[in-house]
Amino acid sequence: MTFVARPTFEVGNKVLSHILDNNQVGIIAAANSGSGSTSSPDSILTEMVSPPQTVRSESSEIMGKTPTQFDVDLRCSRHVPLGEQFRLEVFAEFQNLFNTNSIVASNNVIVPTNPITGEMIGPVPDFRAPNRPTSQESRQLQLGVKFIF
């Protein structure tokens, strides 16, 4: 979901009008129910040698599903007019605003394959070895100034 707003206000006070106008807010929110892979041995081999896909059969069930994910990014900016043709934009961008720890991958085992044929070119990895989940980056803030001409 994306939302961008640049409200204008009609107030009698010129100073208050200048403070309230020329602001812009943008929000990007994303949510999903997580992802997983199947537990049947045939589907694991298929996932190792071909592009990722979800394979389901009556004998397979979803395992290793990542938790639900929710992320909100925010951008606040202020436009400062500098005459007829020029203006400054001062902005702050927040990525992962609420600092949620969204796990985006639960199995980071790498299987070396031939990029053209898709055949395995190395040994089968040890899937029993412990591995760490991959998480989204923590909250980040970026400040900036843009000169528009």
**What pLDDT digit, counting tens, does each position of 64-79 carry?**
566 778 889 999 999 9
The torsion angles phi and psi of 69, rounded to 5 degrees, stand at -125, 140
pTM to 2 decimal places: 0.59
Structure confidence by residue, pLDDT tens digits, 79-134: 998 988 999 999 999 999 998 877 766 666 677 888 888 888 887 777 666 666 66
Q: Is 66 buried (19+), middle (13-18) or exposed (0-12) by CB count in 10 A?
A: buried
Quick one: which of 16, 20, 11, 9 has its CA closest to 79? 20
Quick one: which of 23, 28, 31 has its CA closest to 6? 23
